[in-house]
Structure 1
């Protein structure tokens, strides 16, 4: 289904740029310094606790929807192995054209935030266009808090992401949960993934998360796409796990 109200490049103040091999719709990322990712509320999941396929709207910093993300996964895995499930996240533009895909394979073993690594790590592959891997995001062996590394298609270590040791939100803890993005040496901060507090009722009684991703406006579109994939690894690695523990 087509998504309404996608802004044009002129409305966003972005000049078209050539990006060899990448779908033209990804040019919407050029010039942006922030995107918002909102998970859609699912009535069936709210009423029954049944794990449905996740859906997300991707907005620019003016609140205009630019992309839509739909999970494809096995019903059996969602019901009985929700944390281990494999999935494809299909990213479409407002013309319902798939421009990216984030893919994670099923694993019998997955580590928690403190002991993930080795055979139990999680990896999300970022493809654009579909079938062309432009990079991946992999969980690290941190022992005490979430740790992820972002690589490009040539396996060059591009970014490192560390989260807090207690990534929780509740009525008495309403701050955004921040995951700073740094260069591999950890000396320069280049961006931020943050799970935003949406209010007591939404965050306490539903699993509809909202994230922001900030990065330099002049960062390459490839790197912005890689960080979008990293955002969804944070969602599934940290907060999906947290939801299931709460349930």
Structure 2
């Protein structure tokens, strides 16, 4: 497996972080995804970038990914063009490098820039729909998250490497995170939409953090026995949802109204 690209290692500042012990290898499971076989919840915590808070200059996102007892499972760092971050905002192309505690890249999440993408009414065409690809290890495709056509509510297909839709995600009609509506929930359903099997929750982080930064917290829950490749793909869905609905540009709390 390739080492993490230079500049996207583990952050060394702050208090030491307790990491989840790496489980033994499992036949048929991509190296590094053994962690996901042992958990049914993840917390994705975006780090506050001081320069961005003070200047409004959009910096590359970084996230801690923790289990339910606060142990860090992975670290995620965005790779994107500096000019695109300033001028394309949350619509920008990005690659998220997800590493373990040794700095080895385990999962890679990528989204291409699509100038005409975003409107859920037009997402019937793949060229007008946002999507991310998920690889584990990097270079080996394990799944897709594809925006689907809908009237108002966000709707996504979770697909395997063969582009077979296995799960679906449906969001709420009103996506507003605040003290009166602390969590915004995106429900993960069976393919036919009849059975809830998990969820992604955007969690309220407090007024100062929400209004003056774009650092968001997400919780993910899924069945313990869900295929680890689908768990990794669902993690990729978190980043797509974050950029589409909660990522701020230039420190202005837009909530991405263009979407």
TM-score by length of 2: 0.86
Is the Cα–Cα contact under 8 Å of residues 245 and 255 in structure 2 kept in the other structure?
no
Q: 1:6 aligns with which of 12, 19, 22?
A: 19
The 1:245/1:117 distance shift into structure 2, 3 A limit, reads: farther
Q: In the alignment, which residue of structure 2 is the partner of 1:42? A: 49
Q: 2:217 aligns with which of 210, 218, 224?
A: 210
Secondary structure of the structure 1 residue equivalent to 2:53: helix
Q: Matches of 1:148 and 1:176 in 2, distance apart? A: 19
Q: In the alignment, which residue of structure 2 is the partner of 1:155? A: 163
Secondary structure of the structure 2 residue equivalent to 1:45: helix
Q: In the alignment, which residue of structure 1 is the partner of 2:254? A: 245
Q: Matches of 1:77 and 1:216 in 2, distance apart? A: 37
Is the Cα–Cα contact under 8 Å of residues 111 and 117 in structure 1 kept in the other structure?
no
1:113 Cα offset (Å):
4.9
The 1:161/1:95 distance shift into structure 2, 3 A limit, reads: same
1:246 Cα offset (Å):
5.4
Superposed, 1:166-245 pairs within 5 Å as 166-171=174-179, 173-240=180-247, 245=254
Superposed CA RMSD in Å reads: 2.0
Q: Matches of 1:214 and 1:202 in 2, distance apart? A: 24
Q: In the alignment, which residue of structure 1 is the partner of 2:98? A: 91
Q: In the alignment, which residue of structure 1 is the partner of 2:4? A: none
Q: Matches of 1:143 and 1:164 in 2, distance apart? A: 12
The 1:169/1:114 distance shift into structure 2, 3 A limit, reads: farther
1:174 Cα offset (Å):
3.3
Q: In the alignment, which residue of structure 1 is the partner of 2:5? A: none
Is the Cα–Cα contact under 8 Å of residues 114 and 146 in structure 1 kept in the other structure?
no
1:209 Cα offset (Å):
0.2
TM-score by length of 1: 0.90
1:223 Cα offset (Å):
1.4
Secondary structure of the structure 1 residue equivalent to 2:167: strand
Unaligned runs of 5+ in 2: 1-8, 12-16
Q: Matches of 2:29 and 2:206 in 1, distance apart? A: 41
Is the Cα–Cα contact under 8 Å of residues 21 and 129 in structure 1 kept in the other structure?
no
Please state if 1:78 is matched with 2:109: no
Q: Deviations over 1:2-52 (max 9, x none)?
A: 46421215xxxx6x35242611x2211112010000000011111121111
Secondary structure of the structure 2 residue equivalent to 1:66: strand
Unaligned runs of 5+ in 1: none
Secondary structure of the structure 2 residue equivalent to 1:138: strand
